Chain A
Amino acid sequence: MSDAKFVVIDGNELSFEPGETILEAARRAEIEIPTLCYDDRLTPAGACRICLVEVDGAPLMQPACATRATAEMVVRTNTQRVDRNRKFILSLHLADTIQDREIAEDNNPSRVHELAETYGTAGEWTSVVSPRQGRPQDTNRFIEFRADRCIACSLCTRYCNEVEAVSAITLAYRGAHTTIATADDQSLTDTTCELCGGCVDVCPTGAMTEKQALEWGKPERELEKVRSTCNFCGVGCQVDLNVDREANRVVKVTSPPPGTTVNDGNLCVKGRFANDFIHHPDRLTEPLVRDNGELRPATWDEALDRVATGLAGVKERHGNDALAFISSSRCTKEENYLMQKLARAAFQTHNVHQCAAT
């Protein structure tokens, strides 16, 4: 072996870091290798087998997601054999789950169908109707597991274990019966589950899905994604509000793809699922001011003037330290910054706090 640190993929000499996989080296060079069970935050499982590539000297094709690049390794992703395997795997998964794309994508997009469109299939095979068990008796309000769509890729269980460090779900049974389960098939809310929804997010098929969005009944692709910042705490997680424009309604919240924002694809239960308030009838949607004990709608100018006058009055009558500023834990970091700025610069007081700061 020479000192050269490059791997040849489809004729391109690509450098790689020690420990890098074929897939990582290929992706940097924008050589497409399809994957179904891979997520770069998780230990590779090598389970779906769609990423198999030919490696010179190896009699069998190797999983690009789990095979380390080695010096002078020669990899081929554009052969007839590799292509045949991709088509085989896609026909296989379609036969094992839901062949009809409309039905498959009733809520979440289906990566299997997306790849089938890109790479083609080996034909439509008789559906298998596998004996995987779901968890219909699970009473949690947010996450539904639909076993008929599950490709047993274990992304959800690896996420739950490796990212959330919760291990509420597991691969259970074996062979054709392999499914995703909780201990003794309990409701998620009776397990260690934190309802972070990460398992839904990583699921490539919509087997793990959002119950409430499913009830709403519009597929994700018909919703508009509006990027926003979660306002449950100061971390600043980016969220995508999935909006049904016709109904003017936020149907669900998803996280932007891993690697693109500060939260790296993750959210917590509040950011992902606690969004009922958006459309709650009691929610304030305009400024109100009180006249003689009665609230009435006002303009922002009028309302802010009222606040400024009140605060300035207290300061004048009782001094700076008669005032205290408390901001909500639902403000962003930037808003909290502005609040203390207001307290310190405009009112010269250190009486400032935030309700999540204890």
Chain B
Amino acid sequence: MLPKKARREEVFEQLESAGGLQPGNVGKVHRETGVPAADIFGVATFYSLLAEPDAGVRVCTGLTCKLAGADRLLADLETEGTPATSYSCLGRCDMAPASWDPEGDPATTEPAFSPSHPDFAIDLLAAETDTYSALRLVHDKGAEWALDEVEASGLTGRGGAGFPAHIKWRAVRGQEVTERYIVLNADEGEPGTFKDREVILRRPHLVIEGLAIAARCLEAQDIYAYVRGEFGQVKASLMAALDEARARGELDDDVRWHFVDGHGAYICGEETALLEALEGKRGMPRMKPPYPVEVGFRGKPTLIQNVESIACIPAILERGGEWFKQAGRTEPGSKLYCLSGHVERPGVYEAPMGITLRELLEQAGGVTGTIKAFSPGGASSGFLPADQIDLPMDFKSLREAGSMLGSAGVVVLNDTTDMVEAALTQAVFFEDESCGQCSPCRIGTQIVRQALERYRGGDGDALAFIREVAWGMREASICGLGQAASLPLTSAMKYFPQEFGDDNE
């Protein structure tokens, strides 16, 4: 018999334990949860890890991994008879070419190269002190004090949008509705980005403490951590830290913690798509307004914050908002920059906000070869030419340069890189990862990829109408994915016209 009230939030767990989309499973989960069978099928086909449970080893064919020979790796696996498929960026760009076997041992992450920086908020190499002293300060001094410090710190969202944290905190706190949620966005999927993974693996207590502080300040009863499904032991690291902190009595007992796996969809990093996923649905972004601070998880006020943003909170409260602000150069705070591609020592580098790529490259041992171009903030930021290497890497400067800081997944390309190929790699990513809800993105990403393929195949006119398509994708898409998806192509055309034929300049 079907349960009286459909239990939609259980759909993922049930589908996963049944082994994903396989004959009979949709009906089984339908009978367990009472959710219409068609809806379950809609969910199961949306998420790569559920839709193709038997796809074998996932070989990352993101830009960095392609540069490092992902295609060869894929071919080798096929020759040796190992089932394998190409896959969107796995968030292991520091280990390119990356692959991941869901059936295998939890992938052991080789430590990314990340210099220690005691002067900065996160300091990946610091010994975990896990004192939870910032949380105790909130107990002593109160939520308003904490909010003032967060405001003084000038902390902006590290997930990509750069929105001031204190505005969201105050907005949730100011809601009349008392059922409130804190959601940790650990779905890190922007190609070239792997900082959140490192933060959780190395400083999980900072994340737990930051979340506990947010819950206390915003009077939320539940904390949800949504962790990228491909990240293996990352969720375990976070859960272990929670257990430790609990065992030592560091945390408030009245807060409930929940850990939820992603199931293979980049778009679920977008905050409202993430909420849909938490609710057991297809990860299609919601229209905004209303914003999650008002109508979020289960329709209730919700604070969604990126891992790095949350991990900055303890230092902000302990050392003071003003200290954090001063740690930045052109904009407040220290910042984690992920360096990959043609660099000598790929890794996560913590630096003052606004550092230039030239300085970062010095820390990273320089470029492998001669730099030609770079993506400052993941695939969504498009490409900038080498001569922008002295641009401050902050939200404002990069926006003004027609790019963006985004998640600070910096991918460096040397002069052996074919920009048509590079743009095509990004186009494939966006086409694969579009949720398909709105037509500019669903169709536009196909047009961009196909036009690039035709151009590469020798059709000189293939890009003729691409400018209009790019305009519409930017103007009319519902969310940031579609709005940014044409940028790799248009920026490559702008800065490397000779590779796209003079007509298309």
Verify A175–B443 contact, CB threshold 8 A: no
Inter-chain CA distance A335–B50, complex, in Å, is: 56
Verify B45–A181 contact, CB threshold 8 A: yes
Bitwise, A242-256 to B at CB < 8 A (1) or not (0) is 000000000000000
Bitwise, A76-114 to B at CB < 8 A (1) or not (0) is 000001001100110111011000000000000000000
Question: Is the C-beta of B322 less than 8 angstroms from some C-beta in chain A?
Answer: no
Stretch among B65-73, B403-411, B432-440 lining the A interface: B432-440
Counting contact residues on chain B (CB < 8 A from A), the size range is 35 or more
Q: Contacts A96-B443, A128-B443 hold; do A88 and B476 have CB atoms under 8 A apart?
A: yes
Whole-angstrom distance between the Cβ of A30 and the nearest chain B Cβ? 25
Centre residue among B27, B265, B446, B476 by max chain A CB count within 10 A: B476
Verify A175–B41 contact, CB threshold 8 A: no
Q: A residues near B, CB below 8 A?
A: 44-49, 52, 60-61, 63, 66, 81, 84-85, 88-89, 91-93, 95-96, 122-123, 125-126, 128, 130, 151-152, 161, 167-178, 181-184, 191-192
Chain B, Cβ-Cβ closest to A165: B36
Contact residue among B41, B444, B471 (Cβ-Cβ distance under 8 Å from A170): B41
Verify B38–A92 contact, CB threshold 8 A: no
Inter-chain CA distance A167–B40, complex, in Å, is: 11
Question: Is the C-beta of B402 less than 8 angstroms from some C-beta in chain A?
Answer: no
Verify B45–A172 contact, CB threshold 8 A: yes
Question: Is the C-beta of B1 less than 8 angstroms from some C-beta in chain A?
Answer: no
Verify B436–A178 contact, CB threshold 8 A: yes
Chain A, Cβ-Cβ closest to B286: A46
Inter-chain CA distance A44–B51, complex, in Å, is: 28
Apart from A85-B475, A168-B38, A176-B442, what are 12 other A-B pairs with CB-CB below 8 Å? Answer: A47-B439, A48-B438, A66-B287, A88-B475, A125-B465, A126-B462, A171-B42, A175-B436, A176-B436, A178-B437, A183-B37, A183-B38
Whole-angstrom distance between the Cβ of A135 and the nearest chain B Cβ? 12
Q: Report A-chain residues with C-beta under 8 Å of the C-beta of B444.
A: 92
Q: Contacts A96-B443, A125-B465 hold; do A175 and B434 have CB atoms under 8 A apart?
A: yes
Centre residue among A125, A130, A169 by max chain B CB count within 10 A: A125
Q: Contacts A46-B287, A174-B45, A178-B436 hold; do A125 and B39 have CB atoms under 8 A apart?
A: no
Whole-angstrom distance between the Cβ of A46 and the nearest chain B Cβ? 5
Chain A, Cβ-Cβ closest to B447: A128
Question: Is the C-beta of B450 less than 8 angstroms from some C-beta in chain A?
Answer: yes
Verify B38–A130 contact, CB threshold 8 A: no
Inter-chain CA distance A85–B442, complex, in Å, is: 16
Q: B residues near A, CB below 8 A?
A: 23, 26-27, 30, 36-42, 45-46, 51, 265, 267, 282, 287, 431-440, 442-447, 450-451, 454, 462, 465, 468-469, 471-472, 475-478
Verify A176–B446 contact, CB threshold 8 A: yes
Contact residue among B42, B447, B451 (Cβ-Cβ distance under 8 Å from A172): B42
Inter-chain CA distance A320–B447, complex, in Å, is: 78
Q: Contacts A126-B450, A173-B45, A183-B26 hold; do A49 and B469 have CB atoms under 8 A apart?
A: no
Whole-angstrom distance between the Cβ of A137 and the nearest chain B Cβ? 15
Whole-angstrom distance between the Cβ of B1 and the nearest chain A Cβ? 16
Inter-chain CA distance A177–B478, complex, in Å, is: 18
Verify A184–B436 contact, CB threshold 8 A: no
Q: Report A-chain residues with C-beta under 8 Å of the C-beta of B436.
A: 152, 171, 173-178
Verify B435–A93 contact, CB threshold 8 A: no
Chain B, Cβ-Cβ closest to A133: B45
Verify A61–B38 contact, CB threshold 8 A: no
5 sample A-B contacts, Cβ–Cβ < 8 Å, listed by A number: A88-B440, A92-B444, A96-B446, A126-B451, A152-B437
Q: Report B-chain residues with C-beta under 8 Å of the C-beta of A181.
A: 38, 41-42, 45
Inter-chain CA distance A170–B443, complex, in Å, is: 19
Q: Report A-chain residues with C-beta under 8 Å of the C-beta of B435.
A: 174-175, 178
Whole-angstrom distance between the Cβ of B320 and the nearest chain A Cβ? 34
Centre residue among B23, B265, B469 by max chain A CB count within 10 A: B469
Q: Contacts A167-B36, A175-B432 hold; do A89 and B42 have CB atoms under 8 A apart?
A: no
Inter-chain CA distance A90–B468, complex, in Å, is: 12
Q: Report A-chain residues with C-beta under 8 Å of the C-beta of B46.
A: 172-174
